[in-house]
Amino acid sequence: MLVAQTGLGKKLSSLALLTAKSTTTYAMIADKLGNASANSALSDEINALLPQYQPKWEESLAVAYEKSFSGEELASLVAQGRASKYAAEVKERQAGIGRYMQTNAQPILIALVSDALKATLSKHVQQ
């Protein structure tokens, strides 16, 4: 509920793009298309794939928050947002949430990036 209501999972597309841009495959695409066109083509593919990966990502993020906060704390954060007495603790617990996501959600990110790079290659480079 917290993840959906606050949009906490909405950074998946930018995280995927950042991750993809660090690959040799992206460098090859950029070499062929130019940086701006490669960025645009890859962003389009990531956005097209988001409906497939976003729910899994948000589910993982929700579990990370459930492991980091009690039911009472989560209910307060959902109901009151930044006005919740637990709002400051979100930042304090961010490292633990990040570690959980790195361990448990990284395969989701890798699969999204891989599929987006493959689609970009097949549509724009290997013709």
Chain CA centroid to CA 11, Å: 5
Assess if residue 3 is contained within a domain. Answer: no
Structural contact between residues 17 and 107, judged by C-beta atoms closer than 8 angstroms = no
> Residues 38-58, buried b or exposed e (16+ Cβ, 10 A)?
bbebbbebbeebbeebbebbb
pLDDT in tens, the chain (127 residues): 667 666 777 899 999 999 999 999 999 999 999 999 999 999 999 999 999 999 999 999 999 999 999 999 999 988 888 899 998 998 899 999 999 999 999 999 999 999 999 999 999 887 5
Residue 92 belongs to some domain of the structure = yes
Q: Is residue 82 part of a domain?
A: yes
Tokens of 63: 């579990």
14, 28, 102, 81 alpha-carbon torsion, rounded to 10°: 0
Residue 77 lies in a domain: yes
Residue 86, helix vs strand vs coil: coil
pLDDT for 120 = 97
Q: Residue 126: what pLDDT?
A: 74
> What is the pLDDT, as a whole number, of residue 78?
86
User: Which residues form the domain of 63?
Assistant: 10-125
Domain count for the chain:
1
pLDDT of residue 1: 62
Q: What's the rounded Cα separation, in Å, for the pair 59 and 108?
A: 11
